[in-house]
């Protein structure tokens, strides 16, 4: 049996991968030592400025050995590159280390696999499209949009087939939402399996999606309001990806999206059309969407009956799971990074809830004994990512860093012990437990599990 990427928890990450990752992620740049030193100085200077602003005693840190302060750098003394050098803009070559990564050994093929978003290096609430995580069951495809169709059939008066051109001419909406694979953090059900937040939480991304509300398409087709309870969503790739979607979710805020962060979807994320079902686990966001069928009973497809089920403590299987419950994680400092100096740090991370808007995030630096409120970045959007910050001074002691979110329904993210009490340890999906990072005396940050 081919190993499913989302059931890969039984396969431990190989040693080489752990070592490699620690080296690569221990500093943000991962390039030549002179440049690293420069960055460290810059970071330290920023930290000193922030500390001074907060009227704290800051260590005196100067860029004392920086040659560029004395000799003007080449970019100040030369003609720059012309406008057309980069017709489609790319990140600076100094950011070449900030990439999606695959976990070697997690899957047998690179087609049924995952690439993880480098959450530790990102800011704000939007994931750059080129860093959006990927999860394919049978590889990604380059679809010719002129040959792509969307069919609406089943319990409708008039089955419809749309071209992309027709969809692009319909009334559209743009909304920011997170997309999280149900298996995100699935590797953490057992022992600590991965060193960095990229691998523990990186099947999470957020974009501004643009498309046509599903409700509008169903209205056009004249769906049977008496009988309809579910939709079947079907993709055009070779994975036979089909998922039953609750009509309630579909009519509320689902859309067939062609836009991602202001441009057409990237091929890896479903170009030219994907289903967006805000708050619902990633597998239901069917990519390369070609059909929506209206029905009155779930279809019991392979990806909802055999896969994507949770084994509960009493031995039963939980099927047709849907909503991603409230969850948060500190993205910096996080596993594999290293605190270079004592002093001020902006502890930052992400919080989200598939049930709506984040109400509050709290941070603990003592493994959950004491909690203090984090500052939330605006806007607070439903079923989107919320960026939080927590001002903190590291005094060189050992620290257990945690965050926990409460959403507007009043639900609070569980501790690992609480989650295991309710769900046991034999699940793969829907692990939304509080994450712990341990900072040791030398500043290294490691993934640990408490209790």
Ligand X SMILES: Nc1nc2c(c(=O)[nH]1)N[C@H]1C(S)=C(S)[C@@H](COP(=O)(O)O)O[C@H]1N2
Q: Please confirm whether the linkage preceding 90 is cis (ω < 30° from 0).
A: no
Tell how strand 289-295 and strand 274-276 pair up.
unpaired
Q: How far is the CB of 145 from ligand X (least distance, A)?
A: 16
The stretch among 126-134, 148-156, 276-284, 407-415 that binds Mo ion (CB under 5 A) is 276-284
**Residue 430 binding target from ligand X, Mo ion, none, CB below 5 to 8 Å by type:** none
Residue 333 preceded by cis peptide, ω within 30: yes
Q: What does the block give as tokens for 94?
A: 């100094």
Residue 204 binds ligand X, judged by CB under 6 A: no
Among 101, 137, 416, 423, binds ligand X (CB under 6 A): 137
Is 119 one of the binding residues for Mo ion (CB under 5 A)? no
Binding mask 143-182 for ligand X (x = CB under 6 A): ------------------------------------x-x-
**136 belongs to the binding site for ligand X (CB under 6 A):** yes
CB of 250 to Mo ion, least distance (A): 19
Residue 9, classed as helix, strand or coil, is helix
Which residue in the set 4, 134, 310, 362 belongs to the binding site for ligand X (CB under 6 A)?
134
Non-local (6+) Cβ contacts of 13 within 8 A are 103, 104, 105, 106, 193, 194, 199
User: Which one of 91-99, 164-172, 266-274, 428-436 is the stretch in contact with ligand X (CB under 6 A)?
Assistant: 266-274
Judged by beta carbon distances under 5 to 8 A according to partner kind, the member of Mo ion, ligand X, none in contact with residue 271 is none
| Cβ(210)–Cβ(174) below 8 Å | yes
Q: Which of 239, 261, 322, 334 binds ligand X (CB under 6 A)?
A: 239
Beta carbons within 10 angstroms of residue 77's beta carbon: 8
Residue 250 touching Mo ion (CB under 5 A): no
Q: Would you count residue 100 as binding ligand X (CB under 6 A)?
A: no
Binding-site partner at residue 287 among ligand X, Mo ion, none, CB < 5 to 8 Å by type: ligand X
What is the total residue count of the chain?
A: 451
- Residues 398, 445: Cα–Cα separation, whole Å: 10
Closest CA to 343 of 391, 395, 390, 299: 395
Q: Exactly one of 8, 154, 235, 333 binds ligand X (CB under 6 A); which one?
A: 235
Residue 260 burial (C-beta neighbours within 10 Å; 0-12, 13-18, 19+): buried
- Tell me: does residue 309 bind ligand X (CB under 6 A): no
Give whole-number Cα distances, 10 to 6, 100, 201, 282, in Å.
10, 23, 18, 21
In this structure, what DSSP letter does residue 207 have?
A: E
Using the rule CB under 6 A, give the single segment among 92-100, 131-139, 213-221, 325-333 that binds ligand X: 131-139
Q: Site residues for Mo ion, window 126-165 (CB under 5 A)?
A: 135
Instruction: Say if residue 393 is exposed, middle or buried (CB neighbours under 10 Å; 0-12, 13-18, 19+).
Output: middle
Site size with ligand X, rule: CB under 6 A: 21
CB closer to ligand X out of 13 and 181: 181
- In eight-state DSSP terms, residue 78 is S
Stretch 162-191: interaction string toward Mo ion, x if CB under 5 A: -------------------x----------
| Distance from C-alpha of 258 to C-alpha of 314, rounded to nearest angstrom | 42
Question: 138: part of which helix (H) or strand (E)?
Answer: none
Nearest CB to ligand X, comparing residues 202 and 368: 202
Residue ranges that bind Mo ion, judged by CB under 5 A = 135, 181, 282-283
Residue ranges that bind ligand X, judged by CB under 6 A = 132-137, 179, 181, 235, 237, 239, 241, 268-270, 282-283, 285-288
């Amino acid at each position: 049996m081919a190993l499913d990427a989302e059931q890969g928890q039984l396969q431990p990450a190989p040693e080489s991968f752990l070592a490699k990752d620690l080296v690569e992620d221990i500093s943000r740049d991962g390039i030549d030592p002179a440049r690293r030193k420069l960055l460290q100085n810059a970071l330290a200077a920023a930290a000193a400025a922030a500390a001074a602003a907060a009227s704290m005693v800051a260590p005196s840190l100067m860029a004392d050995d920086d040659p560029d302060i004395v000799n003007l750098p080449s970019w100040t003394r030369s003609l720059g590159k012309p406008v057309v050098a980069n017709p489609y803009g790319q990140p600076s070559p100094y950011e070449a280390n900030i990439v999606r990564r695959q976990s070697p050994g997690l899957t047998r093929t690179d087609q049924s696999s995952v690439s993880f978003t480098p959450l530790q290096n990102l800011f704000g609430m939007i994931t750059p499209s080129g860093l959006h995580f990927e999860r394919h069951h049978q590889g990604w495809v380059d679809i010719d949009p002129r040959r792509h169709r969307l069919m609406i059939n089943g319990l409708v008066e008039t089955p419809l087939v749309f071209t992309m051109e027709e969809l692009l001419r319909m009334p559209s909406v743009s909304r920011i939402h997170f997309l999280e694979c149900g298996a995100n953090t699935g590797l953490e059900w057992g022992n600590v399996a991965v060193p960095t937040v990229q691998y523990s939480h990186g099947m999470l991304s957020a974009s501004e999606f643009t498309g046509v509300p599903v409700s509008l398409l169903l209205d056009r087709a004249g769906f049977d309001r008496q009988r309809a309870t579910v939709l079947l969503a079907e993709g055009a790739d070779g994975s036979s990806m089909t998922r039953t979607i609750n009509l309630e979710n579909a009519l509320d805020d689902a859309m067939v999206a062609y836009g991602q962060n202001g441009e057409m979807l990237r091929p890896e994320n479903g170009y030219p059309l994907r289903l967006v079902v805000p708050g619902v686990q990633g597998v239901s966001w069917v990519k390369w969407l070609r059909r929506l069928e209206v029905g009155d009973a779930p279809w019991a497809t392979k990806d909802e009956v055999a896969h994507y089920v949770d084994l509960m403590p009493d031995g039963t299987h939980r099927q047709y799971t849907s909503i991603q419950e409230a969850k948060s994680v500190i993205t910096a400092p996080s596993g594999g990074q290293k605190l270079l100096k004592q002093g001020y740090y902006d502890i930052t991370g992400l919080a989200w809830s598939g049930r709506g808007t984040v109400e509050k995030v709290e941070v603990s630096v003592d493994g959950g004994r004491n909690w203090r409120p984090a500052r939330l970045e605006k806007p607070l959007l439903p079923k989107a990512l919320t960026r939080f910050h927590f001002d903190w001074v590291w005094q060189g002691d050992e620290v257990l860093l945690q965050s926990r979110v409460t959403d507007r329904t009043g639900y609070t993210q569980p501790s690992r012990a609480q989650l295991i009490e309710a769900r046991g340890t034999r699940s793969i999906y829907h692990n939304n437990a509080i994450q712990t990072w341990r900072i040791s005396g030398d500043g290294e940050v490691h993934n640990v599990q408490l209790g």
